[in-house]
Amino acid sequence: MVHFVGVEAMIRLVEKTGVREFLSGLSQAIEDDFRRWPVFEKTPRIASHSSVGVIELMPTSDGNHYGFKYVNGHPKNMKEGLQTVTAFGVLSDVSTGYPVLVSEMTLLTALRTAATSAMAAKHLARPDSRCMAIIGNGAQSEFQALAFAAICGIDQIRLYDIDPTASLKCAANLAGHGLDITICTTAQDAVAGADIITTVTADKQYATILTDNMVGEGVHINAIGGDCPGKTELHKDILHRSQIFVEFTEQTRIEGEIQQLPENYPVTEMWQVITGTMPGRQSAKEITLFDSVGFAIEDFSALNFMRRQALSLGIFEELDLIADLADPRNLFGVLETKKDPIRRPQRPQAAA
Amino acid sequence: MVHFVGVEAMIRLVEKTGVREFLSGLSQAIEDDFRRWPVFEKTPRIASHSSVGVIELMPTSDGNHYGFKYVNGHPKNMKEGLQTVTAFGVLSDVSTGYPVLVSEMTLLTALRTAATSAMAAKHLARPDSRCMAIIGNGAQSEFQALAFAAICGIDQIRLYDIDPTASLKCAANLAGHGLDITICTTAQDAVAGADIITTVTADKQYATILTDNMVGEGVHINAIGGDCPGKTELHKDILHRSQIFVEFTEQTRIEGEIQQLPENYPVTEMWQVITGTMPGRQSAKEITLFDSVGFAIEDFSALNFMRRQALSLGIFEELDLIADLADPRNLFGVLETKKDPIRRPQRPQAAA
């Protein structure tokens, strides 16, 4: 049988593990996979565009497992009370081609995005960073705050959103998590004194969330919201003052902040920093920028990490997705079940 | 909730509908979609190859629904008692990006392949065809026989396989379906007197199942087994004597029998025949050849047809795949369920 982790199971899995512990383990799993970056099959996402949104498939493989994520992006959904982004994912065994896991990934993507951000900041931000500003306090903001708390030692959070109720929602959700939280009335106020600035706004257009004068020396910028063609958050002048780090250059040139820059503008891929083949931050005064758009390998890491958790905690269901036959040539026989017990007895699947 | 049709549900669905009725309805659904071919988004499959097999994603969209199929091909699986090919599929609503159906497609692919073959033969074979030879009596053979019986009026079947037990299995499965069945000891014997020749062998290599002298005038050849680079079944001389019809030229040039021919060799796409923009068979003496490799639109038609059947017969389960929130910005809130009932009450989904 194929294992299934639905939304309720994912919620129980994260609660039982602990959000911070889940984010820490996931961040480490992503780092481990970035460390072996060259073994992965890297394909640009396969997108199907319509006038109201996009549906994408993001596959990758490390030669042992194959994984893909289905994800949509429909900015108008929010007005209809629906999620802008929903996602689910599949893991398969490369040696047999059989799927082994189907999972919700709306929640898991939020977790992996935050875990990836914090992993990058662990390598790029000043080690003494304590205070993070979060510009944009929507669905991703709490995950960012907790990931940076768990992985980078952040304990002060400064919130700003053009909609004050979003900041209130974020602050309320973060209450009781041991963070010193300040709601600010301007973006300028939020970034004052911050060691790390996270931009994670949702407007699908060229916007300038940060202008050059707002960014002081030594800051690490974690730019999450600029993640598709035509959507950026940072003024170009900031990019020129920063050392820029990306996931997969080919994809980020199209989707990231650097779509504002010439095609040959130098950037460093995060896996090169992690493996020590390229430098990360080189001085306490440097501005570092992680221009993050999300990449298939992070989803792959998330599915594998989550699967291990789910199997060890026994939090999953079974999905009747594969016609496993006693005689594989006799597929037609399954339609005449009165004749014979044609399907193979289902074997419990060994843990990874 | 997302609807789920697993293997057991698919079996019940086909049994309850009747295999022939299911094949007839599906064949009509595929023809209806071929008739509006230009509205579909057509992408080559996205393949991930390993040393032992391939995993593919096959997406398409008609602007209202988006669908994709996951399918693997692992010839060595058979020796391990596993399926060479397994598949599942997803349908989504283009306007919201939300998935609406997850379904097994191992069985459904077998049905749609046979329904597509019979649909093509309905337009290409001589109308007085009664007798079909099937060379290769593996997992697809019974579906082919019943589809041609239901859609093209075939009532005589001549079976041949290099493994006689395969022919015996096929004949046993077809017993009681009102067909006159003959098991033959050579391919030459099987095709003698046949109006239609179906080749559906499984060897993954260039093979010559049919040589030129075996194919008489007026025959329709339904070539199913040559469906990937390096795998063909027909001698090139047969191709030169035939009018060749394909699903999607760009894909068939790579995967079909016509990979043996020059890149500009003239072929006709089936949708052109169905819409009357190009001729099909032009005389009773002509040899017509449907060089079939399987295309994403057929899977799309199959998922939509099957979904209508499943909803009308009430044969489906519900899958907890989408985190539908009361406040879409409050994704984090689902992790703190003790605070509030955060998830939206699940609404029953209207039929298509």
**Does B349 lie at the interface with A, CB-CB under 8 angstroms?**
no
- The answer to whether B246 and B268 are in contact (CB under 8 A) is yes
A227 tagged catalytic: yes
Q: Does residue B338 register a pLDDT over 60? A: no
For A191, the token pair is 């970034």
List the pLDDT tens digit at each of the 352 positions of chain A. 899 999 999 999 999 999 999 999 999 999 999 999 999 999 878 999 999 999 999 999 999 999 999 999 998 998 898 888 899 999 999 999 999 999 999 999 999 999 999 999 999 999 999 999 999 999 899 999 999 999 999 999 999 999 999 999 999 999 999 999 999 999 999 999 999 999 998 765 667 788 888 899 999 999 998 667 777 889 999 999 999 999 999 999 998 999 999 999 999 999 999 999 999 999 999 999 999 999 999 999 999 999 999 999 999 999 999 987 878 788 899 887 654 444 554 444 443 3
Nearest chain B residue (CA) to A88: B321
B positions 53-92 inside 8 Å of A (CB): 53-55, 57, 59, 61, 63, 66, 68, 70, 72-74, 77-78, 80-84, 86, 88, 90, 92
pLDDT band of residue B206 (cuts 50, 70, 90) is: low
Q: What's the Cα-to-Cα distance from A195 to each of A120, A211, A273, A285, B74, rounded to whole Å?
A: 14, 16, 20, 11, 52
pLDDT on residue B230 = 79
| CA B130 to the chain's CA centroid | 22
DSSP assignment letter at B226 = -
φ, ψ of residue A19 to 5 degrees: the values are -60, -50
DSSP B317-333: EEE-----BSSTT-SGG
Complex ipTM: 0.90
- Residue with the two structure tokens 């010559």: B208
pLDDT band of residue B205 (cuts 50, 70, 90) is: low
> Taking the CA atoms of chain A, what radius of gyration do you get in angstroms?
22
**Does A142 lie at the interface with B, CB-CB under 8 angstroms?**
yes
Per CB-CB distance under 8 Å, the chain B contacts of A6 are 319-321
Rounded to whole angstroms, the Cα distance separating B319 from A293 reads 29
- Asked if A97 lies within 8 A of B74 by C-beta distance, the reply is yes
- H helix runs in chain A, sequence order: 7-17, 19-35, 106-124, 141-152, 164-174, 187-191, 236-241, 249-255, 270-274, 296-313
- H helix runs in B183-338, sequence order: 187-191, 236-241, 249-255, 270-274, 296-313
Q: Does residue B345 register a pLDDT over 60? A: no
Question: Which of the pair, B326 or B29, is modelled with greater confidence?
Answer: B29
Burial of residue B298 (CB within 10 Å: 0-12, 13-18, 19+) is: buried
Question: Which of the pair, B196 or A232, is modelled with greater confidence?
Answer: B196
In this structure, are strands A206-210 and B196-199 parallel, antiparallel, or unpaired? unpaired
Chain B: closest CA distance from residue A242 (Å): 31
Cβ pairs bridging A and B (under 8 Å): 229
All residues at 6 or more sequence positions from A303 whose CB lies less than 8 Å from its CB, including other chains: A67, A89, A90, A91, A101, A103, A105, A108
The shortest CB-CB distance from A15 to any of B7, B328, B335 is to B335
- Asked if B11 lies within 8 A of A80 by C-beta distance, the reply is no
pLDDT band of residue B309 (cuts 50, 70, 90) is: very high
Q: What is the pLDDT of residues B251-299, one digit of tens each?
A: 999 989 999 999 999 999 999 999 999 999 999 999 999 999 999 999 9
Rounded to whole angstroms, the Cα distance separating A58 from A283 reads 36
pTM of the model: 0.91
- Asked if B323 lies within 8 A of A104 by C-beta distance, the reply is yes
Per CB-CB distance under 8 Å, the chain A contacts of B52 are 94-95
Per CB-CB distance under 8 Å, the chain B contacts of A81 are 328, 344
Q: Does residue B352 register a pLDDT over 50? A: no
- Asked if A323 lies within 8 A of B106 by C-beta distance, the reply is yes
DSSP B157-193: EEEE-SSHHHHHHHHHHHTTSS-EEEE-SSHHHHHTT
In this structure, are strands B46-49 and A232-234 parallel, antiparallel, or unpaired? unpaired
H/E stretch holding B197: strand B196-199
Give the HSE-up count for residue A288: Cα atoms under 13 Å, Cβ half-sphere.
Answer: 29
Q: Does residue B347 register a pLDDT over 70? A: no
What single-letter amino acid sits at B68? F
What single-letter amino acid sits at B43? T
CB atoms within 10 A of CB A165: 11
Rounded to whole angstroms, the Cα distance separating A94 from A114 reads 28
**Does A173 lie at the interface with B, CB-CB under 8 angstroms?**
yes
Rounded to whole angstroms, the Cα distance separating B105 from B96 reads 24
- Residue with the two structure tokens 């299934």: A4
- Asked if B83 lies within 8 A of A322 by C-beta distance, the reply is yes
The shortest CB-CB distance from B50 to any of A43, A94, A325 is to A94
Per CB-CB distance under 8 Å, the chain B contacts of A320 are 6-9, 104
